[in-house]
Amino acid sequence: MANNIRNIAIIAHVDHGKTTLVDKIIHASKIFDAHQQFDDLILDDNPLERERGITIVSKNVSVRYNGTKINIIDTPGHADFGGEVERVLKLADGVLLLVDAFEGAMPQTRFVLGKAIALGLKPIVVVNKVDKENCRPDEVHEQVFDLMFNLGASEDQLDFVTLYGSSKQGWMSTDWKVKTDNLIPLLDAVISSIPPAPTLEGTPQMQITSLDYSSFVGRIAIGRVHRGTLKEGSNMSLMKADGSIKKVKIRELHVFEGLGRVKVDEVSSGEICAVSGIEGFDIGDTLADADNPEQLERISIDEPTMNMLFTINNSPFFGKEGKFVTSRHLRDRLFKETEKNLALRVESTDKEDTFLVFGRGILHLSVLIETMRREGYELQVGQPQVLFKEDDNGKRTEPIELLVVDVPEESAGKVIELVSMRKGEMTIMEPKGDLQHLEFTIPSRGLIGLRNNVLTATGGEAIMNHRFVDYEEHKGPIPGRIAGSLISLETGPGTAYTIDKLQDRGSFFVDPGEEVYGGQVIGEHTRPNDLTVNIQKGKKLTNMRASGTDDNAKIVPKRQFSLEEAMEYIQKDEYLEVTPKSIRMRKILLDENERLRYAKTAE
């Protein structure tokens, strides 16, 4: 049976159509019963994934074609979730590299493909979206070949099959000018060019690459059987990171079948399975023979590049919206997250209610914060900080990223100016269709808050992507936000009268009637310094009749921030307060006199 299995991972840049292609393969394989109805993006079952249109957690699904079982792993495309990709590639023997026929190979494509080639996986290239205008499939095919060559692919890997098609329309073909009406050429290519999962005889070995949770059986270990056969009810050794060995027993075994799982008595090498009944395991541990345990090489995950301070919500409005507000809740939730989110690290600080959380980038951390607020947590986070290192010569180094911006030609100058101000250096500038394609190397610090400025300067027409490259020498100070904050003096609802009178001092983040508290950041000042204002004052009323000189208040709508924008916006002396229904910015020290005292001592 094991020889009749193909394990493939689908890798691509964000929005190039991975999950859509998996949808079509699932539909083409007739997994569903006739009465079952499913929406699009079947595998993106997490509400956050559906809203943002991105895959955050990798998923497994299997289809059967011509007597062969194909295990498909849908992976995230964003570099912030690279930890997910690095571990699931261990399950695969080959990869489907999906590339947009217009955009070509993008930064994250290179990032994930580099990992796959280093593991020796056989690629199949799918040039997707050939139904789009301005597409250039032949150029993209050459570009992918050059990319693989530059990444050090072997002769066998460079001899890849290329298919063209549209996953949205559900067709694939070996020639992009010849449109078919199904995905058969793709499934044929998988069976003919991806090597079958190897069958290795000997004592059983399985590396745990992912985990699931069930309220009935607890934590479930998922991985690929590397060697031998796993049997239900057998005793095994669990080999941990610290070298310790723990005796465990397999209670149940499941293999992936269609969109679900099927219980089996035994699983032989090459198959991906789920094991329940094991306690105390971590991702990367090896499940081995009870008598002669042998450990598999642990999964190596790239280091985090950014950290943020997480603390309990102690604002005047705490506990109004959330269920989980104590430091114990926060601690338990953060440490629970590290069990399945490999690229995340949590460290306790000298304060009981404050934790340092290390991640891959703003998106990686914001998905955690958004998930927690939806679960009913209230918390506060500080300004994201980039992690610096010292090299062998004692010099300070910082993470450098490759930034790619596609922008209309008339806006290219503004983008170059904005990136250069943040110590970015342009390496490539070339036309790409009707857009200008710009590439820069830029410190990770320079990316914080940059997206907002670029989108404002280009009227929302810029497409930005970035990926971590390496640590290089520190580039010196980078100017942060130029404008100061407008801070509320009192607690209570703001009045339209006062907000109207203060509009020349800056733009507001709150509407009239909205409850605010003293020390909350309620707007952006037009000048670099912070300004404390009282927006609760009402108009002085007299019993004299006004002679019609009062104008109605004309108030500009408040500025709305997404979670990521707010995380990038706050300054060092500010917190972002996140509750299930609200996102507020505030000063760490709410009292104005305390802030002034602190500023004097800091000088």
- Spatial distance between the Cα atoms of 59 and 450, rounded to a whole number of angstroms: 32
Is residue 259's pLDDT more than 60? yes
Domains 205-289 and 389-473 share a fold: no
Write the pLDDT tens digit of every residue in 279-338. 888 878 888 888 888 888 887 667 788 899 999 999 999 999 989 899 999 999 998 888
The pLDDT, as a whole number, for residue 534 is: 93
In the predicted model, what is the mean pLDDT of the chain? 83
The pLDDT, as a whole number, for residue 332 is: 92
Compute the C-alpha angle 207/209/215, nearest 5°: 110
The pLDDT, as a whole number, for residue 578 is: 94
Write the pLDDT tens digit of every residue in 477-532. 888 778 899 999 999 999 988 898 899 999 999 999 999 999 999 999 999 999 99
Most confident listed range (5-14, 36-45, 440-449): 440-449
- Spatial distance between the Cα atoms of 275 and 283, rounded to a whole number of angstroms: 13
Report the range of poorest mean pLDDT among 95-99, 167-171, 206-210, 587-591: 167-171
Write the pLDDT tens digit of every residue in 385-422. 998 988 888 888 998 988 888 888 888 999 999 999 99
Which sign does the torsion angle of CA 363, 366, 368, 374 carry?
Answer: negative
The pLDDT, as a whole number, for residue 43 is: 45
Annotated binding site: 15-20, 128-131
Annotated binding site for GTP: 15-20, 128-131
Write the pLDDT tens digit of every residue in 509-520. 999 999 999 999
- Spatial distance between the Cα atoms of 509 and 561, rounded to a whole number of angstroms: 8
Distances 436 to 234, 410, 412 between C-alpha atoms, Å:
61, 9, 7
Domain ranges in the chain? 2-193, 205-289, 389-473
DSSP-derived secondary structure for 391-432: -TTS-EEEEEEEEEEEEEGGGHHHHHHHHHHTT-EEEEEEEE
Select from 336, 202, 206 the least CA-distant residue to 273: 206
The pLDDT, as a whole number, for residue 554 is: 80
Fold designation for 2-193: Rossmann fold (3.40.50)
The pLDDT, as a whole number, for residue 1 is: 42
- Spatial distance between the Cα atoms of 581 and 511, rounded to a whole number of angstroms: 16
CB-neighbour burial class of residue 78 (10 A; exposed 0-12, middle 13-18, buried 19+): buried
Q: Does the domain formed by 205-289 have CATH 2.40.30.10?
A: yes
Chain centroid, CA 226 distance in Å: 29
Is residue 598's pLDDT more than 50? yes
Q: Work out the pLDDT band at 40, boundaries 50, 70, 90.
A: very low
- Summarize the confidence of residues 22-40 as an average pLDDT: 55
CATH architecture of 389-473: 2-Layer Sandwich (3.30)
Residue in this structure with the two tokens 């009292």, named with its chain if needed: 591
